[in-house]
A and B are shown apart, each in its own frame.
Chain A
């Protein structure tokens, strides 16, 4: 059973297009992290969201945490080839010893 459903799993778009990645769960998370990973490297933390309804912006990236803290989205405006990579959402729950539950990942390719 996948506790954190991430979609889409693959996305290939042209430079300048917008996109949204979704992470959904039936469980409540105390926090949710988004990571980006490039080939040959480890995941790099983009943002942590904690409060229900929270919206955070990181340049062209907008992250939202659902009001009920069960879902999250990542929206990229005017995608660039440098945005290409594997995007991972990961949720933390209370009393889980700091462990994260990862989504399946979204492989994004932005073509020039």
Chain B
């Protein structure tokens, strides 16, 4: 398994501002992902953070709104830009690692960042 940390753990922001969320993995990983989740609901993939190239965004998410950096194999950031109350959510990062099942990579998650936009 892996230890994945996120900062900040929670924040309250004013509309129109931007927040950058950091994700740190304690080992080098190939794939990192960013998700959004409403409390009690399932996860929605925002994008795949690619090391050394631009992130790959899912339908409904764009780079101008959610710019992502992946400067190395252990770190990524997600920025939520020009925030509105609709951006209030839990933001999760994850990483794929070969764990106990060595023939496949398994995805491990950070603790999440709880964002409230007023």
Chain B residues closer than 8 Å to A48, beta-carbon distance: 99-101, 104, 106
CB distance from A32 to the nearest CB of B (A): 10
Residues of B within 8 A of A (CB): 1, 4, 30-31, 33, 39-43, 45, 48, 56, 92, 96, 99-101, 103-112, 114
Number of interface residues of A (CB under 8 A): 27
Q: Is the CB of A41 within 8 A of B31?
A: no
> Which A residues contact B (CB, under 8 angstroms)?
6, 30-31, 33, 35, 39-45, 48, 50, 86, 88, 90, 92, 97-100, 102-105, 107
Looking at the complex, which one of A39, A86, A90 makes contact with B107 (CB distance below 8 Å)? A90
Q: Which residues of B contact A42 (CB under 8 A)?
A: 4, 92, 109-112
List the A side residues contacting B110 at CB < 8 Å.
Answer: 42
**For residue A49, which residue of chain B has the nearest CB?**
B101
